[in-house]
Chain A
Protein backbone atom coordinates (compact mmCIF):
# COMPACT_ATOMS: atom_id res chain seq x y z
CA UNK A 1 0.00 0.00 0.00
CA UNK A 2 1.35 3.43 -0.93
CA UNK A 3 2.04 5.44 2.18
CA UNK A 4 3.70 8.65 3.25
CA UNK A 5 4.78 8.96 6.86
CA UNK A 6 6.00 12.18 8.44
CA UNK A 7 7.91 12.76 11.62
CA UNK A 8 7.78 14.21 14.11
CA UNK A 9 4.04 14.73 14.49
CA UNK A 10 4.70 18.06 16.16
CA UNK A 11 7.67 20.18 17.05
CA UNK A 12 8.33 23.29 19.11
CA UNK A 13 11.46 25.34 18.49
CA UNK A 14 12.79 28.75 19.48
CA UNK A 15 12.78 31.57 17.00
CA UNK A 16 16.05 31.73 15.10
CA UNK A 17 16.80 28.02 15.44
CA UNK A 18 16.96 25.54 12.56
CA UNK A 19 14.86 22.42 12.27
CA UNK A 20 14.42 19.42 10.01
CA UNK A 21 11.20 17.60 9.20
CA UNK A 22 11.19 14.07 7.84
CA UNK A 23 9.13 12.28 5.21
CA UNK A 24 9.37 8.56 4.46
CA UNK A 25 7.35 7.09 1.63
CA UNK A 26 6.63 3.75 0.05
CA UNK A 27 5.20 5.06 -3.23
CA UNK A 28 7.35 3.39 -5.86
CA UNK A 29 8.04 4.25 -8.52
CA UNK A 30 7.12 7.88 -8.10
CA UNK A 31 6.99 10.96 -10.26
CA UNK A 32 7.52 13.82 -7.85
CA UNK A 33 7.57 14.75 -4.18
CA UNK A 34 6.15 17.97 -2.81
CA UNK A 35 6.27 19.92 0.41
CA UNK A 36 3.44 22.24 1.38
CA UNK A 37 3.03 24.74 4.20
CA UNK A 38 -0.45 25.15 5.64
CA UNK A 39 -1.32 27.93 8.03
CA UNK A 40 -4.20 27.22 10.39
CA UNK A 41 -7.56 27.49 8.63
CA UNK A 42 -6.04 28.22 5.23
CA UNK A 43 -5.20 26.28 2.10
CA UNK A 44 -1.75 24.69 1.69
CA UNK A 45 0.91 26.63 -0.18
CA UNK A 46 3.57 24.88 -2.22
CA UNK A 47 7.15 25.17 -0.96
CA UNK A 48 9.00 22.81 -3.28
CA UNK A 49 8.32 20.14 -5.86
CA UNK A 50 11.08 17.70 -6.80
CA UNK A 51 11.26 15.00 -9.44
CA UNK A 52 12.86 11.66 -8.65
CA UNK A 53 16.11 12.84 -10.27
CA UNK A 54 16.54 15.89 -8.05
CA UNK A 55 18.41 15.71 -4.74
CA UNK A 56 17.82 19.13 -3.31
CA UNK A 57 15.70 22.17 -3.88
CA UNK A 58 15.55 25.47 -2.04
CA UNK A 59 12.92 28.12 -1.58
CA UNK A 60 14.31 30.91 0.56
CA UNK A 61 14.93 29.55 4.06
CA UNK A 62 13.35 26.22 3.12
CA UNK A 63 15.51 23.45 1.66
CA UNK A 64 14.12 20.08 0.69
CA UNK A 65 16.29 17.04 0.08
CA UNK A 66 15.37 13.78 -1.54
CA UNK A 67 16.99 10.35 -1.42
CA UNK A 68 15.11 8.16 -3.88
CA UNK A 69 17.16 5.10 -2.92
CA UNK A 70 16.10 5.15 0.72
CA UNK A 71 12.72 6.73 -0.08
CA UNK A 72 13.28 9.61 2.29
CA UNK A 73 12.88 13.34 2.06
CA UNK A 74 13.54 16.08 4.54
CA UNK A 75 12.58 19.73 4.81
CA UNK A 76 15.13 21.93 6.52
CA UNK A 77 14.09 25.33 7.83
CA UNK A 78 16.87 27.77 8.53
CA UNK A 79 16.73 30.62 11.05
CA UNK A 80 13.09 29.98 11.92
CA UNK A 81 10.63 32.82 12.28
CA UNK A 82 7.33 33.05 14.14
CA UNK A 83 5.58 33.00 10.77
CA UNK A 84 6.96 29.52 10.12
CA UNK A 85 4.46 28.18 12.65
CA UNK A 86 2.25 25.97 10.48
CA UNK A 87 1.60 22.42 9.38
CA UNK A 88 4.06 21.03 6.82
CA UNK A 89 2.74 18.37 4.50
CA UNK A 90 4.70 15.94 2.34
CA UNK A 91 2.97 14.65 -0.80
CA UNK A 92 4.18 11.99 -3.25
CA UNK A 93 2.83 11.48 -6.75
CA UNK A 94 2.85 8.01 -8.30
CA UNK A 95 4.81 7.30 -11.45
CA UNK A 96 2.06 8.18 -13.88
CA UNK A 97 0.79 11.19 -11.99
CA UNK A 98 -2.49 9.43 -11.37
CA UNK A 99 -2.48 9.58 -7.62
CA UNK A 100 -1.20 11.90 -4.92
CA UNK A 101 -0.48 10.36 -1.52
CA UNK A 102 -0.54 12.80 1.37
CA UNK A 103 1.31 12.57 4.64
CA UNK A 104 -0.48 13.51 7.86
CA UNK A 105 1.77 16.53 8.31
CA UNK A 106 4.12 17.89 10.97
CA UNK A 107 2.84 20.73 13.12
CA UNK A 108 5.61 23.22 13.79
CA UNK A 109 5.38 25.89 16.42
CA UNK A 110 8.03 28.57 16.62
CA UNK A 111 8.09 30.49 19.87
CA UNK A 112 9.90 33.64 20.87
Chain B
Protein backbone atom coordinates (compact mmCIF):
# COMPACT_ATOMS: atom_id res chain seq x y z
CA UNK B 1 0.00 0.00 0.00
CA UNK B 2 1.40 3.38 -0.97
CA UNK B 3 2.17 5.76 1.87
CA UNK B 4 1.15 9.36 2.31
CA UNK B 5 2.50 11.53 -0.46
CA UNK B 6 3.02 15.26 -0.42
CA UNK B 7 3.75 17.60 -3.28
CA UNK B 8 5.82 19.51 -3.86
CA UNK B 9 8.65 18.38 -1.61
CA UNK B 10 10.44 21.71 -1.73
CA UNK B 11 9.19 25.19 -2.46
CA UNK B 12 10.66 28.67 -2.42
CA UNK B 13 8.30 31.63 -2.37
CA UNK B 14 8.55 35.35 -1.87
CA UNK B 15 6.94 37.25 0.99
CA UNK B 16 3.42 38.30 0.07
CA UNK B 17 2.81 35.43 -2.35
CA UNK B 18 0.46 32.55 -1.72
CA UNK B 19 1.15 28.83 -1.85
CA UNK B 20 -0.86 25.62 -2.15
CA UNK B 21 0.42 22.32 -0.81
CA UNK B 22 -1.08 18.96 -1.65
CA UNK B 23 -1.44 15.74 0.30
CA UNK B 24 -2.63 12.33 -0.89
CA UNK B 25 -3.52 10.05 2.01
CA UNK B 26 -3.17 6.30 2.21
CA UNK B 27 -5.91 4.61 0.23
CA UNK B 28 -9.01 4.16 2.39
CA UNK B 29 -8.01 6.78 4.94
CA UNK B 30 -10.64 9.43 5.48
CA UNK B 31 -8.85 11.78 7.86
CA UNK B 32 -6.08 14.17 6.87
CA UNK B 33 -4.29 16.44 9.32
CA UNK B 34 -1.80 19.20 8.65
CA UNK B 35 1.07 20.31 10.87
CA UNK B 36 3.72 23.01 10.78
CA UNK B 37 7.18 22.31 12.13
CA UNK B 38 9.80 25.03 12.49
CA UNK B 39 13.41 24.57 13.70
CA UNK B 40 13.45 24.10 17.43
CA UNK B 41 9.65 23.91 17.61
CA UNK B 42 7.49 20.90 18.05
CA UNK B 43 4.74 19.94 15.67
CA UNK B 44 2.06 22.62 15.59
CA UNK B 45 -1.39 21.44 14.60
CA UNK B 46 -3.00 23.37 11.76
CA UNK B 47 -6.25 21.52 11.01
CA UNK B 48 -7.85 18.15 10.47
CA UNK B 49 -10.24 17.22 7.71
CA UNK B 50 -12.52 14.22 7.86
CA UNK B 51 -14.90 13.27 5.09
CA UNK B 52 -14.47 16.67 3.44
CA UNK B 53 -15.30 18.60 6.62
CA UNK B 54 -12.91 20.50 8.83
CA UNK B 55 -13.07 18.64 12.12
CA UNK B 56 -10.54 20.57 14.16
CA UNK B 57 -8.50 23.71 13.79
CA UNK B 58 -5.35 24.89 15.53
CA UNK B 59 -4.39 28.40 16.56
CA UNK B 60 -3.21 29.75 13.27
CA UNK B 61 -4.31 32.95 11.50
CA UNK B 62 -6.92 32.89 8.77
CA UNK B 63 -4.16 33.06 6.15
CA UNK B 64 -3.91 29.33 6.61
CA UNK B 65 -6.75 27.39 5.07
CA UNK B 66 -7.41 23.95 3.75
CA UNK B 67 -9.87 21.68 2.10
CA UNK B 68 -10.46 18.03 1.42
CA UNK B 69 -11.85 16.49 -1.72
CA UNK B 70 -14.22 13.58 -2.14
CA UNK B 71 -11.28 11.22 -2.80
CA UNK B 72 -9.80 12.32 0.58
CA UNK B 73 -6.93 14.19 -1.02
CA UNK B 74 -6.30 17.46 0.77
CA UNK B 75 -4.77 20.82 0.03
CA UNK B 76 -3.66 23.58 2.31
CA UNK B 77 -3.23 27.16 1.24
CA UNK B 78 -1.24 29.94 2.81
CA UNK B 79 -1.96 33.44 1.56
CA UNK B 80 0.16 36.55 1.97
CA UNK B 81 3.24 34.60 2.98
CA UNK B 82 5.44 35.90 5.78
CA UNK B 83 9.07 35.05 6.53
CA UNK B 84 7.89 33.20 9.65
CA UNK B 85 5.90 30.77 7.50
CA UNK B 86 9.14 29.09 6.46
CA UNK B 87 8.77 25.60 7.84
CA UNK B 88 8.32 21.92 7.16
CA UNK B 89 4.64 21.26 6.51
CA UNK B 90 3.58 17.74 7.33
CA UNK B 91 0.46 15.94 6.37
CA UNK B 92 -0.79 12.84 8.17
CA UNK B 93 -3.60 10.48 7.33
CA UNK B 94 -5.58 8.05 9.43
CA UNK B 95 -8.37 5.61 8.81
CA UNK B 96 -10.82 7.65 10.84
CA UNK B 97 -10.48 10.65 13.20
CA UNK B 98 -6.83 11.19 14.09
CA UNK B 99 -7.34 11.16 17.83
CA UNK B 100 -8.60 7.62 17.83
CA UNK B 101 -6.59 6.02 15.05
CA UNK B 102 -2.94 5.75 14.22
CA UNK B 103 -1.61 8.50 12.01
CA UNK B 104 0.79 8.00 9.13
CA UNK B 105 2.87 10.98 8.16
CA UNK B 106 4.05 12.04 4.75
CA UNK B 107 7.61 13.19 4.03
CA UNK B 108 6.62 16.85 4.27
CA UNK B 109 6.93 19.94 2.11
CA UNK B 110 9.82 22.23 2.94
CA UNK B 111 8.64 25.80 2.35
CA UNK B 112 11.14 28.64 2.30
CA UNK B 113 9.86 32.21 2.22
CA UNK B 114 12.36 34.86 1.15
Contacts and interface: CB of A to CB of B under 8 A. Distances in A.
A42 B99 contact: no
Nearest to B90: A43
Given A43-B4, A43-B107, A105-B42, A96 B102 contact: no
A97 B100 contact: yes
A102 B43 contact: yes
Interface residues of B, number: 25
A41 B88 contact: yes
A99 B98 CA distance: 8
Contacts of A42: 107-108
Interface of B: 4, 33, 41-45, 55-56, 88, 90, 92, 97-108, 110
Interface of A: 31-32, 34, 36, 41-46, 49, 89, 93-94, 96-100, 102-105
Nearest 7 A/B pairs, CB to CB:
A97-B99, A43-B105, A97-B100, A104-B42, A93-B99, A102-B43, A44-B105
